[in-house]
Amino acid sequence: MFDTGILPYIGEAQSGDDRKDAESVGNAILELVKTLELSTNLKNYKIGEDQAPKITKLATRQESGPLYDKVIALVHNLYG
């Protein structure tokens, strides 16, 4: 189940659909990044792609497995 505790802070109410709620949070985060004129490309922050496993391990507290695989794919997408 998706933790919807952040929804009230972005002006949203829990819909009962975890996927929809997660997408609302994700969209709010992307809009914040855009408003703050931040880059979503890790290369722009001079973070080498060789750091992807370390970033993923810190985020997931795992070194392998289905969650790790999904997150590392997301991290690789942040390199443009």
Summarised one tens digit per residue, pLDDT across range 1-53 is: 556 688 888 888 888 888 888 888 888 988 998 999 988 899 999 999 999 99
CA atoms of 16 and 42, how far apart (whole Å): 34
Closest to 80 (Cα-Cα) out of 44, 45, 48, 41: 41
pLDDT at 74: 93
Summarised one tens digit per residue, pLDDT across range 44-74 is: 999 999 999 999 999 999 999 999 999 999 9
- The residues spanned by each domain of the chain are 1-38, 42-77
Do residues 21 and 2 lie in contact, with contact meaning Cβ atoms separated by under 8 Å? yes
Number of Cβ within a 10 Å radius of residue 52 = 19
pLDDT at 70: 94
pLDDT at 63: 96
